[in-house]
Chain A
């Protein structure tokens, strides 16, 4: 079975919510929509306090090229535009809307019949995706239309669809593939048209055998789409690892997948693109997994953007008593939340509620130079060196050792037998080196 060559670890999968069908949860009374839900510049609000808005109405427009539009997930009145804590741990500008009813703008096609007829041209597809505010739903939230703008001289050989979902506990992509597989495949065809390519490869980890079977069957209707099972190994879902596993090509250090003729998109993004192009529906809701060993009802909820996390936890039958941490994302790359008022945003793939006894880190001891971290690193870096030089603030060395290639997957921290928080130091170093590079390019 195909897999990536370097490194990787195998944490316990814990896909507790794999059997839970997607449930639409009730609308909250108030939503908080942050303006910075995507990579790039935060959007600029185009509504003000007191305005009435409908579901799907644009409430913020993209600022600059790498940015995205934001649409209202609810109908109601804009309560205020203020700084609110979001999952970043800082207060960020957000639009707060008091919910009244559930009225949608009439440009959205709310019918549920599957429309496989792609009427728009490649350029129109790109514009539509931009207009509808679709961003990468795998977690990186990169504005999707930018990936469709292939510069002159570059050609896309393969469109790669990421159905891997390698993070333990998370199952939203799995359920989407099972329940909305056909629409997702139409989304893939739309992307193929937009990129002017005729080959799409869908990678799915082998622990989702039902999804692999279903999609293989459905893909027979579509020309050029192939479904490939992949070995269960973390981080198979990393862009560069996926490209290597499916095509054998290696993305050069510091370059984008386009350099080897590939463009990668998440299955959730493909579905969002189907809805945007065929149903004129902007991105304002997504599937969020709520899971954890003590959670009474691990579930996958279809939630509107801006819903406070506590509503999702309530819908999963409440916060367990032994909760130690509430993590936004998975256990490998997620980030602990400050409180449960934090809203769901476009990049929220799951909420993991960790019991107290698993939340605490073990005491770190000295590095024993075992090189398990070097073995585990899927990018071929030396975490022991990167973490030490970041700690000592030798940022020139950190940059020279290619810290910017680090995908922050956490495999190194996971394997370290001395419990050294390697990823924390590396993230710090990467942050600082990123700043240094930005300042250098400004001059």
Chain B
């Protein structure tokens, strides 16, 4: 009995040892050399594998970076400057600090601003709908509201607001570019987050002349050039019947926002402007006669302050301005 066990264990054990030795030599012969630094870099990267860097995942980015030997042209938008600095330290290279960016939806053709003239009864895909017709509101450059951008986002940062049918970007956005590519109308653009997270942009990419543009949407850019004329920093370009603000040149002075006749230019995360003189004259009168109105006015002001503080829909600024104008 003991012999059987002895022989079984002995022969299998010998087989195992022989196999191990063969495997060892084979592994050594066919070993692929990989720079160990690639593993180090990959550790530091956020492992989102989103493709925002332009490479097929974090490992591919790490490989390309280590091979290139320089940090020039490499940026992980998800990790941001912190991660790039750490990667630089690991490789002994100088990291390029890129300006943080965020996705911006350049259309404000909500159901109110661009009322529906037809009803779409097709598949729920912006890309497919774009091949069929110009959109329920009639503007052929505007947002279709079917949510291709929302579906493409891996970071839960962009959602179509069901009341307005326009997508809204939250601070989860890491500027990975997925929604920019998903949008068939090229409405979304990556722009600098801006100092104190403030940014100004023209929320319209309509290239039709002013009259037909305005007919389809009340907040369209009509290319009147008032913003272009008032900008002291030459940051605005008039091209193809629309205004475009260069975010590198813009110094956030807001002169353009004030002169835009259609409210097409949006300002994000700015404090409320001082109330205009005309409104001031009206306010004291209201306080004297109707306390009810006064309370409401305070409520609205409180609400407005709340809204501006939160990183809420960019429409808040425009809406707040509209409320002001309504009251004035």
**A-side interface residues toward B, CB under 8 Å?**
83, 85, 88-91, 335, 338-339, 359-361, 391, 421, 424-425, 427-428, 431-432
**Nearest CB to that of B123 among chain A residues?**
A424
User: Nearest chain A CB to B45's CB is how many angstroms away?
Assistant: 26
- A83 contacts B212, CB within 8 Å? yes
- A424:B134 contact, CB within 8 angstroms: no
Partner-contacting stretch, out of B34-42, B99-107, B125-133, B172-180: B125-133
Are B123 and A425 in touch, CB under 8 angstroms? yes
The reply on B290 being an interface residue by CB < 8 A is: no
Residue B275, interface by CB 8 Å: no
12 sampled A-B residue pairs with Cβ under 8 A: A83-B208, A88-B133, A338-B134, A339-B118, A391-B125, A424-B128, A425-B123, A425-B128, A427-B128, A428-B127, A431-B131, A432-B127
CA distance A287 to B66 in the complex (A): 69
B123–A421 CB distance below 8 A: yes
A89/B133 contact (C-beta < 8 A), A424-B128, A428-B128 known: yes
A421–B118 Cα gap in the complex (Å)? Answer: 20
Taking a contact as CB atoms closer than 8 A, the residue among B122, B131, B140 that contacts A91 in the complex is: B140
In the assembled complex, B117 has its CB within 8 A of some CB on chain A = yes
Which residues of B have CB within 8 Å of A432?
A: 127
Residues of B within 8 A of A428 (CB): 123, 125, 127-128, 131
Given contacts A89-B133, A89-B134, A90-B134, contact A424 B117 (CB under 8 A): no
* B121 in contact (CB, < 8 A): yes
Assess the A339–B117 pair: CB atoms within 8 A: yes
* Complexed CA–CA distance, A89 and B118 (Å): 11
CA distance A425 to B122 in the complex (A): 10
In the complex, which residues of chain A have a beta carbon less than 8 angstroms from the beta carbon of B140?
90-91
For A338, the chain B residues whose CB sits under 8 A away are 117-118, 133-134
Hey, which bits of chain B sit against chain A, CB under 8 A? 117-118, 121-123, 125, 127-128, 131-134, 140, 208, 212
Contacts of B131 in A (CB 8 A): 427-428, 431
Total A-B residue pairs with C-beta atoms closer than 8 Å?
A: 41
Q: Given A83-B208, A91-B140, verify A360-B128 contact (CB < 8 Å).
A: no
Q: Is the CB of A90 within 8 A of B133?
A: yes
A240 to B252, CA, bound (A): 62
Tell me the nearest residue of chain B to A364, going by C-beta.
B123
| Pair B125/A91 contact, Cβ less than 8 Å | no
Interface residues of chain A: helix, strand, loop or mixed (majority) = mixed
Partner of A335, one of B118, B125, B132, B212: B132
- The smallest beta-carbon distance between A404 and chain B, in angstroms, is 16
Q: Which residues of A contact B133 (CB under 8 A)?
A: 88-90, 338
Give 6 closest A-B pairs by Cβ, nearest first: A89-B133, A428-B128, A424-B123, A431-B131, A90-B134, A338-B118
| Residues of chain B contacted by A90 (CB below 8 angstroms) | 133-134, 140
Which residues does chain B contribute within 8 Å of A91, judged by CB atoms?
134, 140, 208, 212
Residues of A contacting B128 with CB < 8 Å?
Answer: 424-425, 427-428
Q: What are the residues of chain B within 8 A of A431 when measuring CB–CB?
A: 131
Q: A91-B140, A428-B127 are in contact. Are A360 and B134 (CB under 8 A)?
A: no
Instruction: Give the docked Cα–Cα distance between A360 and B133 (Å).
Output: 18
Query: Which residues of chain B are within 8 angstroms of A391 by Cβ–Cβ distance?
Result: 125
CA distance A427 to B121 in the complex (A): 15
Q: Is there an interface contact between B122 and A424, defined as CB atoms closer than 8 Å?
A: yes
**A426 smallest CB distance to B (angstroms):** 10
In the complex, what residues of B have CB within 8 A of residue A360's CB? 121
- B118 nearest CB neighbor, chain A only: A338
- Alpha-carbon separation in the docked complex, A361 to B128 (Å): 17
Chain B residues in 8 Å Cβ range of A427: 128, 131
Which B residues lie within 8 Å of A83 (CB)?
208, 212
Q: How many angstroms between the C-alpha atoms of A89 and B133 in the bound complex?
A: 4
> Complex: how many Å from CA A443 to CA B118?
40
In angstroms, Cα B140 to Cα A85, docked, is 10
- Shortest beta-carbon distance from B266 to chain A in Å: 26
Considering the chains assembled together, what is the distance between the CA atoms of A347 and B212 in angstroms?
A: 27
With both chains docked as a complex, state the minimum distance between the C-beta of A89 and any C-beta of chain B, in angstroms.
3
Closest to A91 in B: B140
CB distance from B181 to the nearest CB of A (A): 11
Once bound together, how far apart are the Cα atoms of A359 and B118, in whole Å? 14
A3 to chain B, nearest CB (A): 32
CB distance from B153 to the nearest CB of A (A): 15
**Within the assembled complex, what's the spacing in Å between the Cα atoms of A424 and B123?**
7
Tell me, in angstroms, the Cα distance from A375 to B196 when the chains sit together.
62
Query: Nearest chain-A residue to B139 (Cβ)?
Result: A91
- Complex formed: what's the CA distance from A73 to B122 in Å? 35
Given contacts A83-B208, A338-B118, contact A89 B123 (CB under 8 A): no
- Nearest residue (CB) in B for A431 is B131
Q: A89 and B132: CB pair below 8 A?
A: yes
CB distance from A176 to the nearest CB of B (A): 30
- The complex places the Cα of A335 from the Cα of B133 at a distance, in Å, of 10
Complex Cα distance, B135 from A85, in Å, reads 12
Smallest CB gap from A361: residue in B: B121
A76: min CB distance to chain B, Å: 24
Q: How far is the CA of A367 from the CA of B97 in the complex (A)?
A: 50
A91 to B134, CA, bound (A): 8
Interface contacts beyond A89-B132, A89-B133, A360-B121: sample of 4 additional A-B pairs, CB < 8 Å, sorted by A: A90-B134, A361-B121, A424-B122, A428-B125
